[in-house]
Amino acid sequence: MSEKATRPRAGAQGGGLLRRHWRVLAVTLLLMVATSLLAALADRGHDPEWRRELPDEVSALSFTPDGERLLALQTRNGSFTALTALTPRGERAWTVPLNVSYVKFAAANEAVAVATAPSPANLTVYDALTGRPFWYAPIPRVFVTSLAMDGDLLAVALQTTPPGVQVFTREGDGFLLQAELPFPSGPDGTNQVRGLDVRDGTVAAGDDLGNVKALRGGALVLEARVPYQALALEVQPGGAGLLVGGRSLDGSGFTGGVQALRITPGDPLGEVEWTAPVPGTVTFLDVSHPETGTARAVALVDAGPPILRGFPDLQVPQGWSTRATRVISDLLPNRAAALALDPKGETVAYVTAGDEVTVLSAAGGEEQWTYRAFGGTSLSYHPEGGAFATGVRLLPDLPPNVVLYFDVEEEPLSRDLSRLLPLVLALEALVGLGVLGVRALGRSG
């Protein structure tokens, strides 16, 4: 018989190999697919739950207290272009065009107050759900340095001479001026009301010179002097007290602290309950464990790492609690464009102007996870905690400009799958052995 007649055909030989060793081949193929899938998932990190593209860069974000709207202030070439409201799922609810060079805004559950300057310089209040304007007030020749809303109260800090605060109360579809709160001018005629908070019917304000005042029902209930420029204020639940955080009065930024004042009806002098100096500028406060009497102040340090410092050993009386305050953006170092504290007091998130969104443990500062993005500008935690939104660019110096929403409490995939790293390596080894085994079987067959 000739050689051509006796040699098995190549297809028949391969088919025989497949029939004899199909189990080995199937297992090898499954191992290859599993290894590739695990490697791809491990590289995903912590993905956002949703994203929403906007026409311009997002310079500020803020949830309404009920979490039903996320407000995004947009800017382009140094001008504020629009205020957009998103739903909890990221859908666009409404947009108010602005085209101004200066904006301050504050939100309650039902209303959003927006102050603009110049041309026009005015204060407008919009319906939080629909974006319909229902109240307007001109602001001639002054800037609004701070805004705060809570329920039917609206507090407006004005850059006047002397500086002061106007308190409005809602009545029908408008607001009526309820009270005016003046502050002294500085030695050179300058002073600004920077800290402002409204809660439980109490309006509190502080200035550059360490003056702190509080109103309730139009009457002065607190007038005190603190050792700090008042950059962050927190009215305590029920209006029983006030937390004041800031930097030293010399403005150096290298020292600051927190002071707690008790608000006592009929005694506006403001008894000091405790004072806690810290080596940095306090931009927001966290007293998240009132049952243990432990307070934490989170401070920005102007020079050198770490960016954040927590102080878990500040002892305060039982019953004190707080929520996260607004971040003073002009005190942030270049490497951190914005940061925010989880209302639950568990995590701190910050976004750099370079390339990362980072979540840290509020208790010890340990890094939880990071997400790569460019040009981060703003952060806002959901009022119930556990999730936050951030405004970023996905490419350096280029659109798209997006709002990303992260669930902090969801375990990052990279952390879950890092525990499976030994398994991935073992699978890779098995795949290699399987391929070698198949080749050997092919040669022997």
Quick one: pLDDT at residue 323? 38
Report the SS3 class of residue 134: strand
Higher pLDDT, 373 or 301: 373
Pairwise CA distance, residues 244 & 336, whole Å:
23
In b/e form, how buried is each residue of 118-131, taking b as 16+ CB within 10 angstroms? eeebbbbbbebbeb
Pairwise CA distance, residues 183 & 180, whole Å:
10
Higher pLDDT, 88 or 328: 88
**What is the Cα gyration radius of the chain?**
29
Quick one: pLDDT at residue 38? 57
Q: By the 8 A CB rule, do 115 and 156 touch? A: yes
**Domain extent listing, the chain:** 3-42+421-444
**CA proximity to 146, closest of 94, 205, 76, 97:** 205
Higher pLDDT, 198 or 347: 198
Quick one: pLDDT at residue 325? 33
Is the pLDDT reported for residue 3 higher than 50? Answer: no
Is the pLDDT reported for residue 327 higher than 70? Answer: no
CB atoms inside a 10 Å sphere around CB 188:
6
pLDDT in tens, 388-418: 888 887 666 666 788 989 887 765 544 444 4
Share of the chain above pLDDT 70, in %: 63
Report the SS3 class of residue 239: helix
Pairwise CA distance, residues 404 & 421, whole Å:
29
Q: Is the dihedral of CA 116, 120, 122, 128 positive or negative?
A: negative
Q: In this structure, which amino acid lies at residue 148?
A: A
Higher pLDDT, 43 or 363: 363
Residue 254: which region, alpha, beta or left (left: phi > 0; alpha: psi -120 to 50)? Answer: alpha
CB atoms inside a 10 Å sphere around CB 312:
13
